[in-house]
Amino acid sequence: MATRLIAWALAAAALATNAHAEAPLLTPFPATGDRPPAPWHVAGLPHQKKPFTRFTLDDVDGRRALRVEAQASYGNLVHPLTMAETGLHLAWQWRVDELLLDANLHEKNGDDTALKVCVFFDLAIERVPFFERQLLRFARTQTPEPLPGATICYVWDAHLPAGTALDNAFTHRVRYLVLESGAPQPHQWAHERRDVAADFVHLFGAESPEVPPIVGVAVGADADNTHGHSLGHVADLLLGP
């Protein structure tokens, strides 16, 4: 555990140093106010009628954090990006205060996440398998949000062991990678740093030998399928070399 924390601290320090030299790729959460600033925005399903997951800013354990609460709801807080870089790492801290014990990511009626951090890739539609390609084209006509060809979501799950990789039950365009499993100690934060290019190759490499540009990052939670309630926090979300 100590080795992991030291490694994360060194990585975070390197990202922080780079942030002073140039503008951060992700707009930081401000020190005051309770709403994430633009271009962060809440996005949901096409023609969504169910409640939206709630995203607010708060001071938690001495750090500025995004509070993510789902109540039989769906929603993602999205930060679009216009870039061609691929050799990037995503680092963040997160904690889950209330898990979704009825979640089962293998099934549609259990496909809910108490907390997830996602990366959107501009995978060329020609790389998408034929049947899914048609579904993606249709889905893009149903929403003003630019739907990516490939999405990786890092999740904190109640049951699946860390390291589990699986497709979303509704669409193969979204693939999950479980980083944390089960209930942590109360108020305990977990620290993550991911090589997103390596994770793309691991999860989508059969479709594309090249890693596409990253076009967005999102934080989300949903409890619309299990009709449950979840609560979590995300802090210090950084995207950089």
Report, in this order, helix, strand and coil percent for the chain, each rounded to 5. Answer: 20, 40, 45
What pLDDT is stored for residue 240 in this prediction?
A: 93
What pLDDT is stored for residue 105 in this prediction?
A: 98
**63-71/54-60 β-pairing:** antiparallel
Q: Check residues 22 and 144 and name the one with the higher pLDDT.
A: 144
pLDDT, tens only, 38-82: 999 999 999 999 999 999 999 999 999 999 999 999 999 999 998
Q: If you write DSSP's letter for every residue of 28-67 in order, what string do you get?
A: PPPSS-SSPPTT-EEE-STT--SPBPEEEEEEETTEEEEE
User: Which residue type does 87 have?
Assistant: G
| 138 pLDDT higher than 50 | yes
Query: Residue 168: how many CA atoms within 13 Å on its side-chain side?
Result: 18
**CATH of 2-240 among 2.30.30.90, 3.30.450.40, 3.40.50.300, 2.60.120.260:** 2.60.120.260
pLDDT, tens only, 162-221: 999 999 999 999 999 999 999 888 788 999 999 999 999 999 999 998 999 999 999 999
pLDDT, tens only, 14-33: 334 443 446 789 999 999 99
User: Which residue type does 66 have?
Assistant: L
Cα three-residue angle 54-151-102, rounded to 5 degrees: 50
What pLDDT is stored for residue 21 in this prediction?
A: 45
